[in-house]
Structures are given as structure tokens and as C-alpha cells.
């Protein structure tokens, strides 16, 4: 990118306006990030055609190495509408009844499972047994046991399992990770992750324990959990947690509204996190080290992400996170690329172990030791 273009983009990023999607992105000082546009294309079937799948499908229009070639839905009208919109031929459209036939479809390399949380387990295992690589939206499952079964099933089938941790590919986030790895913040002392929003419609699946597995922690708090791990750069060894519920009608038994949790690390670093379905104006990450700090605010929304270190603002131009994620996942699956931050099933399983420990900590009031490594 030439200087004047970079300056133009920096000015855009520093203003509060929404940025246009920029598809040509040049990696900066911290080394390769976004996949080289050269290489084979990952042909993906999207499963579960809800709001987030819509976002993924739209973002994938800008991908250089990933393409929607299949659709899976329980709603025939959606298959028709999406098939037409995304140019997916009828032979590549599946219901949940016909889905297993996908194993005979040479147009599809991978299935991206974007159904409600509680359905991930069965859907991922079905896709694996059909011989397709699987991308699964986070949280990968609603229990550690389920997650382990999914990891095992994909290994047994010889397919890859990746979790849709889009922030693990986000340029400002990765710049902080790379600066941390380069020692720019010194010894890491503290991380704070505040993730949440005020949830609307009380009848949505996210507030149904049977479908969601829990409440805010599974849906939005997981960003703080996952973020703690990649920002600190270490797996936690203990967790404490405190639950608060102000509206037991909206947030029923087993559906957490607000949980504060704290994590400790073998290095002595600590983290303080908030997960909530009852507050707006959050979404902030803060990393503290002996030599400096980094802040992302907003840190995990759909963007633009805004960040800074103790030295300078971070000004990566906004690209839809799902565009980068899918191009990178294509490189991981097809080229064997090792990403800066892993997104494999084991990485997803660690989050579930922490989530279960947080619920135990809330229920007992006692600190839970974690054995993640």
C-alpha cells in the first residue's frame, strides 16, 4: 500500500464513520497475516441459515479463497431464496433429512455449522462422517463432553475441525498479539475483558437453555474467555466467578444474565472479565504489561475494531471479519497453514472447560483449578 493510501485509511479509521470494506489488505510490520490470494478455493456449505449465516454469506462474496457452494436448512423457502441469491444450484441444497448425501457431492469441501449451540454436536459429527471438513460456530458445543466427542469424531474421520473464532484473525488484535510476542509490553500482568449487550426479544433461542446451553456466558462471555487466552498468551490455571441476576423472568433457571469472573495464570498474571446480557456500552479489552498496555474498544464487535497501545493508535483498515476468517481457514485446511492463533477443536474445547468451571464457581462460590495444559 502506498503512503497516501495508508494515510487516507488511517484518517478514516480514526474518525467515527463506518468504513467501507477494503478487500485489498497488505500485511504490515508484524509479518504475514492475511492469506495470499493465490491458491485453491475452499468450497463451503453453510448449515443453518439464520442471521449470522447471512453475515457470513455476504462477507464471503469478498473472499479470494472461499466460496459458498452448498446450503443446508430445514426451511425449503430459505433454500430456494438463498440458492438463488448466492448462486447455489439445487443439487447442492440440503435439508436435514437429505444432508448425509453430501458425502457424495464433489462440489463441497467443508460444512460451516451455524445452527443454535445445542445442535452443533450432532451436526458436526454428521458432517465429519460425511467426510467433509467442518467449521463450527462458537461455542463449539454446550458441554466439554460433547466438544470432546466432536474432536474425536473429526479425528476419526480424518477431517479438520475449526471453530469460528473470527477475532483470532482480526488485524488489530493480531498486531497486539505480535507486539506482545515481540516483548513490547514486557511481562504481562493483567487483562480485562468486558463483553456483553442488552439482549432483546425474550423468546429467541439464545435465552432458551435447551438450545443455547446457558446464557450470556456461552454467547458473548466466551469472547472474554477466548480473548483472555490470546491476549495474555497463556492458559489460565484457576477461575473464580460471581453471578448476578436482576431479571429472573427474562433469564430463567440455567440462563445466566451477568457473570463476573477472574482468571489466574502460572506466570502470576490475572484477568478480570464481565459477561452480560444486561448492559450495553461494553466490549473492551485491556492488556497490561510491565512496559506498556494495549486497548481494544470496541474489541469483539463486527467492526470497525478500534485499538491503541501505550505508543500509538492501531489503524488497520476494516475488512469484514468473516471475509478474513474464511480466506484464512481455506489456507489452514487446504495449504496446512499454521495461523498466528489456533482455531482448532482443541482450542474450542479449552473454552468449554473454562465455561464449565465458571458455572461451578458460581454455584459453589469456590475457586476452581483448571488443568488445560
CB atoms within 10 A of CB 208: 17
Helices (H), the chain: 3-14, 51-60, 76-85, 120-129, 144-157, 171-181, 209-212, 216, 222-232, 321-330, 345-364
Please confirm, yes or no, whether 223 is among the known catalytic residues: yes
Q: d(Cα 166, Cα 327) in Å, to the nearest integer?
A: 11
Q: Positive or negative CA dihedral for 261, 148, 344, 327?
A: negative
CB of 188 to its own copies, least distance (A): 10
Contact pattern for its own copies over residues 202 through 241, marking x by CB under 8 A: --------------------------------------x-
Q: Which three cell numbers stand for residue 366?
A: 469456590
Among 6-14, 53-61, 121-129, 288-296, which window interacts with its own copies (CB under 8 A)? 288-296
Could you tell me if 44 and 71 are in contact, meaning their C-beta atoms sit under 8 angstroms apart? no
Among residue numbers 300 through 319, which ones bind its own copies (CB under 8 A)? 310
Determine whether 23 is exposed, middle or buried from the number of CB atoms within 10 Å of its CB (0-12, 13-18, 19+): middle
CB of 96 to its own copies, least distance (A): 40
Interaction between residue 347 and its own copies (CB under 8 A): no
Of 112, 223, 277, 359, the catalytic one is: 223
Q: Which of 142, 270, 305, 333 binds its own copies (CB under 8 A)?
A: 270
Interaction between residue 367 and its own copies (CB under 8 A): yes
Q: Which of 73, 276, 299, 322 binds its own copies (CB under 8 A)?
A: 276
Interaction between residue 274 and its own copies (CB under 8 A): yes
DSSP 8-state secondary structure symbol assigned to residue 192? E
Could you tell me if 217 and 259 are in contact, meaning their C-beta atoms sit under 8 angstroms apart? yes
Of 138, 277, 306, 353, the catalytic one is: 138
Interaction between residue 264 and its own copies (CB under 8 A): yes
Please confirm, yes or no, whether 306 is among the known catalytic residues: no
What order do you get walking across the sheet with 236-244 strand by strand?
A: 313-314, 307-309, 293-296, 284-289, 188-196, 270-276, 258-265, 236-244, 368-369
Task: Closer to its own copies by CB, 1 or 279: give it.
Answer: 279
CB of 12 to its own copies, least distance (A): 21
Could you tell me if 40 and 63 are in contact, meaning their C-beta atoms sit under 8 angstroms apart? no
Q: What are 282's strand-pairing partners?
A: none
Q: Which of 204, 219, 286 is nearest to 258 (CA)?
A: 219
Residue count, binding to its own copies (CB under 8 A): 33
Among residue numbers 158 through 197, which ones bind its own copies (CB under 8 A)? 189-190, 192, 194
Q: What are phi and psi of 178, to 5 degrees?
A: -70, -40
CB of 239 to its own copies, least distance (A): 10
Q: Which residue has the cell 469456590?
A: 366
Among 25-33, 128-136, 168-176, 267-275, which window interacts with its own copies (CB under 8 A)? 267-275
Task: Closer to its own copies by CB, 276 or 299: give it.
Answer: 276
Q: d(Cα 297, Cα 308) in Å, to the nearest integer?
A: 9
**Helix orientation angle between 222-232 and 345-364, rounded to the nearest 10 degrees:** 120
Task: Closer to its own copies by CB, 61 or 310: give it.
Answer: 310
Task: Closer to its own copies by CB, 70 or 289: give it.
Answer: 289
Q: Which of 172, 226, 228, 260 binds its own copies (CB under 8 A)?
A: 260
Interaction between residue 258 and its own copies (CB under 8 A): yes
Interaction between residue 275 and its own copies (CB under 8 A): no
Point out which residues bind its own copies (CB under 8 A).
Answer: 189-190, 192, 194, 198, 240, 242, 244, 246, 258, 260, 262, 264, 268, 270, 272, 274, 276, 278-282, 284, 286, 288, 290, 292-293, 310, 365-367
Catalytic residue IDs = 138, 223
Amino acid at each position: 500500500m502506498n503512503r497516501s493510501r495508508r494515510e487516507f485509511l488511517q484518517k478514516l479509521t480514526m474518525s467515527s464513520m463506518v468504513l467501507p470494506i477494503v478487500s485489498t489488505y497488505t500485511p504490515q510490520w508484524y509479518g504475514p497475516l492475511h492469506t495470499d490470494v493465490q491458491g485453491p478455493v475452499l468450497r463451503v456449505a453453510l448449515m443453518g441459515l439464520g442471521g449470522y449465516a447471512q453475515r457470513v454469506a455476504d462477507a464471503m462474496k469478498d473472499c479470494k479463497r472461499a466460496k459458498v457452494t452448498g446450503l443446508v436448512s430445514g426451511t425449503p423457502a430459505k433454500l430456494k431464496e438463498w440458492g438463488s441469491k448466492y448462486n447455489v444450484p439445487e443439487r447442492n441444497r440440503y435439508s436435514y433429512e437429505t444432508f448425509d448425501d453430501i458425502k457424495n457431492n464433489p462440489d463441497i469441501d467443508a460444512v460451516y455449522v451455524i445452527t443454535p449451540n445445542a445442535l452443533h454436536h450432532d451436526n458436526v459429527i454428521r458432517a465429519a462422517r460425511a467426510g467433509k471438513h467442518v467449521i463450527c460456530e462458537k461455542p463449539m458445543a454446550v458441554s466439554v463432553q460433547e466438544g470432546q466427542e466432536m474432536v474425536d469424531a473429526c479425528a476419526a474421520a480424518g477431517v479438520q475441525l475449526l471453530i469460528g473464532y473470527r477475532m483470532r484473525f482480526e488485524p488489530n488484535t493480531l498486531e497486539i498479539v505480535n507486539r506482545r510476542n515481540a516483548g513490547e509490553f514486557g511481562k504481562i500482568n493483567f487483562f480485562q475483558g468486558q463483553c456483553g449487550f442488552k439482549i432483546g426479544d425474550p423468546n429467541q433461542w439464545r435465552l432458551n437453555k435447551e438450545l443455547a446451553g446457558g446464557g450470556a456466558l456461552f454467547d458473548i462471555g466466551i469472547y472474554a474467555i477466548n480473548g483472555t487466552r490470546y491476549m495474555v498468551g497463556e492458559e489460565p490455571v484457576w477461575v473464580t466467578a460471581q453471578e448476578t441476576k436482576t431479571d429472573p423472568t427474562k433469564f430463567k433457571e440455567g440462563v445466566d444474565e451477568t457473570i463476573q469472573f477472574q482468571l489466574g495464570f502460572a506466570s502470576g498474571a490475572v484477568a478480570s472479565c464481565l459477561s452480560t446480557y444486561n448492559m450495553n456500552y461494553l466490549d473492551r479489552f485491556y492488556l497490561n504489561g510491565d512496559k506498556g498496555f494495549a486497548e481494544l474498544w470496541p474489541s469483539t464487535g463486527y467492526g470497525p475494531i478500534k485499538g491503541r497501545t501505550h505508543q500509538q493508535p492501531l489503524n488497520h483498515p476494516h475488512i469484514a471479519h468473516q471475509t478474513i476468517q474464511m480466506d484464512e481457514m481455506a489456507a489452514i485446511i487446504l495449504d496446512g497453514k499454521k495461523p498466528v492463533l489456533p482455531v482448532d477443536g482443541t482450542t474450542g474445547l479449552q473454552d468449554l472447560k473454562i465455561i464449565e468451571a465458571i458455572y461451578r464457581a458460581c454455584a459453589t462460590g469456590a475457586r476452581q483449578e483448571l488443568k488445560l495444559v
